[in-house]
Amino acid sequence: MSGMTFRKSTKSDIDAIMRIIEDARLSLRQRGIDQWQNDYPNRTTIENDIDHGYSYILEQDNTVVGTVAVIFGKEITYAEIFDGNWLSNKEYAVIHRIAVVSRFMGRGFASVMIGNIERMCLEKGVRSIRVDTHEKNESMQRLLDKNGFTYCGIIYLLDKSKRLAYEKLL
């Protein structure tokens, strides 16, 4: 897609990112999904992502249309998986807080972000990507299936919330 830029977020992007997060929060609530409903992710979460170099945005013609956090390293909540197994024990990247402006959903922007994350992983020699999602978030599950992720089992967040866990080997 032309006119698209995938780049690390800066502090000047926080307001645009928070608008996307709030838009996604509303969309999830309207679909009866309790994911992201308890002031998470919040502005502090996004600021921390930017400070640690985890936060990325997708721009279409200089308009921020998507946001994602990409973390290279271990995710504490992935140490134990239930009713399944991870595909590998390799070093992995984790996708968190991925969202697209609702009016742009269905245009492939989330898949563009995943493609960029895959490229980043390959450049770093990382051959695995893991992600989790709410069991009612069917649109995220479809996105993961469409992009070649495999359902691996169930993980629990630190607050004991149940999540479906996925992995893709590159």
Rounded CA separation 138/65 (Å): 21
pLDDT at 2 over 80: no
Q: Whole domain around residue 104: which residue ranges?
A: 4-169
Gap between the Cα atoms of 140 and 138, Å rounded: 5
pTM, 2 dp = 0.94
SS3 45: helix
pLDDT at 119: 98
pLDDT at position 83 is 97
CB 128 within 8 A of CB 167: yes
User: Is residue 32 pLDDT above 80, yes or no?
Assistant: yes
Of 74, 25, 15, 73, the closest CA to residue 46 belongs to: 15
Q: How many domains does the chain have?
A: 1
Axis-axis angle for helices 43-52, 14-30 (nearest 10): 130
What is the pLDDT, as a whole number, of residue 1?
60
Q: How far apart are CA 74 and CA 141, in angstroms?
A: 22
pLDDT number for residue 60: 93
What is the tens place of the pLDDT at every residue in 51-84?
Answer: 999 999 999 999 999 999 999 999 999 999 999 9
Collapsing DSSP to helix, strand or coil, 168 comes out as strand
| Cβ atoms 151, 164 nearer than 8 A | yes
CATH number of the domain to which 22 belongs: 3.40.630.30
DSSP state, 71?
E
